[in-house]
Chain A
Amino acid sequence: MPDGLWIRCEGCKSLVYKKKVEEKFFVCPECNFHFRISAAERIKIMLDADSFDEYWKEMSPVDPLNFKDRISYKDRVASEKKKTGLNEAATAGKGTIEGKEVMIVVTDPSFIMGSMGSVVGEKVTRAAEMALEQKLPIIIASGSGGGARMHEGAFSLMQMAKTSFILSRLHQAGLLFVSILTDPTLGGVMASYASQADIIVGEPGALVGFAGPRVIRETIKKTLPKGFQTTEFMLEHGFIDMIVERGKIKHELSKILEYCDANHSS
Chain B
Amino acid sequence: MSKKTANLDDPIIELNERIKKLQDNPKQDDILTEIKELEEQKKSLLKKIYSNLSPYDIIQISRHHLRPPVSDYISFMVDDFIELHGDRSFGDDKAIITGIGKFGNQRAMIIGHQKGKTTKERIIYNFGMPNPEGYRKALHKMRLAEKFHLPVVTLIDTPGANPDIGAEERGQAHAIAVNIAEMSRLRTPIICIVIGEGGSGGALGIGVGDRFLILEYAYCSVISPEGCAAILWKSKDNAEDAANALKLTAKDLYEMGIVDEVIPEPLGAAHNSPKEMANTLKKNYYPLP
Question: A residues near B, CB below 8 A?
Answer: 171, 174, 176, 198-200, 235-242, 252, 255-256, 258-262, 264, 266
Contacts and interface: CB of A to CB of B under 8 A. Distances in A.
B215 interface: no
Given A238-B87, A252-B82, A255-B82, A266 B149 contact: yes
A235 B149 contact: no
B261 interface: no
Interface string B83-119: 1111111111100000011000011000000000000
A252 B148 CA distance: 17
B88 A259 contact: no
5 A-B pairs with least C-beta separation: A238-B86, A241-B84, A260-B148, A259-B100, A238-B87
B57 interface: no
B150 A236 contact: no
A266 B92 contact: no
Nearest to A176: B148
B133 interface: yes
A242 B82 contact: yes
Residue picked from B89, B106, B148, most chain A C-beta under 10 Å: B148
B137 interface: yes
Contacts of B89: 238
User: Is the interface on chain B under 10, 10 to 19, 20 to 34, or 35 or more residues?
Assistant: 20 to 34
B172 to A, nearest CB: 16
A207 B106 CA distance: 37
A241 B100 CA distance: 12
Given A256-B100, A259-B82, 9 more contacts: A199-B144, A200-B86, A237-B86, A238-B89, A242-B83, A255-B82, A259-B148, A264-B149, A266-B149
A78 B149 CA distance: 48
A23 to B, nearest CB: 26
Contacts of B122: none
A263 to B, nearest CB: 10
Given A252-B82, A264-B107, A238 B90 contact: yes
Contacts of B107: 258-259, 264, 266
Interface in B116-138: 133, 137
A80 B133 CA distance: 43
B80 interface: yes
B18 interface: no
A114 to B, nearest CB: 23
Nearest to B98: A241
Contact of A235 (B85, B106, B147, B150): B85
A239 B83 contact: no
B148 A241 contact: no
Contact of B148 (A239, A240, A262): A262
A207 to B, nearest CB: 18
B91 A236 contact: yes
Contact of A237 (B83, B91, B101, B148): B91
A51 B289 CA distance: 40
B85 A198 contact: no
A233 to B, nearest CB: 11
A107 to B, nearest CB: 22
Nearest to B134: A238
B101 to A, nearest CB: 8
A238 B86 CA distance: 4
